[in-house]
């Protein structure tokens, strides 16, 4: 089944609802954002979550020691980097699953991926939509057909982010067949507050797609 991460979790209620619906991972943002959450709050949330649920911290150009301190304090299982973190930087976190995000459009972002693949610096790659001055969480899609054109990540699991919701997730999975999807605003009623019905609809849609693929 397609791996599903719900990002921008800010409260225990949303975290428990998402986990109960079978979401694979939850994202907690420790960077400037409407969905930013403090480490003390994340620690409280994570203490109440199933062990199998991945707990991923999202960072942008934080000092290495700061990231390690926050990750250990909160009990994170993965780290997602959205800034200019180098391959060497990413290789300093062997205890964690590492996701490196790249903001892409037609002629931007794709060449940046290769050094991370070549150096075995990351466990997963995330493609997000390039919007000038916005490091992530844009709620906008990029042309997904570009994924199959560039296809230069050497078998590293690929996650797609940016503007995904129940109305377009089927097309994304059929056209790109990524390892996973990263959804934030597409299941919200307002920034930082998830909509339970949208969460349910998304997970039901993903499950239906997978069942259809098995039978085809």
Cα separation of 124 and 139, whole Å?
Answer: 21
Q: Are strands 97-104 and 193-194 parallel, antiparallel or unpaired?
A: unpaired
Catalytic residue among 74, 90, 128, 182: 128
Find the largest Cα–Cα distance for the chain: 49
Collapse the DSSP code of 74 into the 3-class scheme (helix H, G, I; strand E, B; otherwise coil) and give the result: helix
Which residues lie below 8 Å from residue 49, measured CB to CB, with a gap of 6+?
15, 16, 19, 26, 55
14 is catalytic: no
119 is catalytic: no
Structure tokens at 75: 């009990």
Which residues lie below 8 Å from residue 139, measured CB to CB, with a gap of 6+?
162, 163, 184, 185, 186
Cα separation of 79 and 96, whole Å?
Answer: 7
B/e letters for 130-151, b = 16+ CB within 10 Å, e = fewer, are bbeeebbbbbebbebebbeeee
Cα separation of 66 and 62, whole Å?
Answer: 7
Catalytic residue among 7, 14, 90, 182: 7
Which residues participate in catalysis according to the annotation? 7, 128
């Amino acid at each position: 089944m397609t791996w599903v991460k719900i990002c921008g979790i800010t409260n225990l209620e949303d975290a428990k609802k998402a986990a109960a619906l079978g979401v694979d991972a939850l994202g907690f943002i420790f960077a400037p954002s409407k969905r930013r959450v403090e480490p003390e709050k994340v620690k409280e949330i994570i203490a109440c979550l199933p062990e199998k649920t991945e707990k991923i911290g999202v960072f942008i150009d934080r000092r290495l020691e700061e990231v390690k301190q926050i990750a250990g304090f909160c009990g994170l299982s993965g780290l997602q980097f959205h800034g200019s973190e180098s391959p060497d930087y990413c290789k300093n976190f062997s205890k964690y699953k590492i996701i490196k995000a790249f903001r892409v459009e037609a002629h931007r972002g794709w060449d940046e991926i290769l050094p991370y693949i070549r150096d075995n610096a990351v466990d997963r790659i995330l493609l997000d939509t390039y919007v000038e001055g916005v490091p992530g969480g844009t709620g906008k899609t990029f042309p997904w057909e570009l994924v199959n054109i560039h296809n230069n990540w050497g078998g590293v699991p690929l996650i797609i982010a940016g503007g995904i919701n129940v109305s377009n997730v089927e097309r994304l999975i059929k056209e790109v067949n990524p390892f996973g999807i990263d959804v934030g605003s597409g299941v919200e009623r307002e920034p930082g507050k998830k909509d339970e019905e949208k969460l349910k609809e998304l997970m039901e849609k993903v499950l239906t797609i997978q069942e259809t693929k098995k039978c085809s």
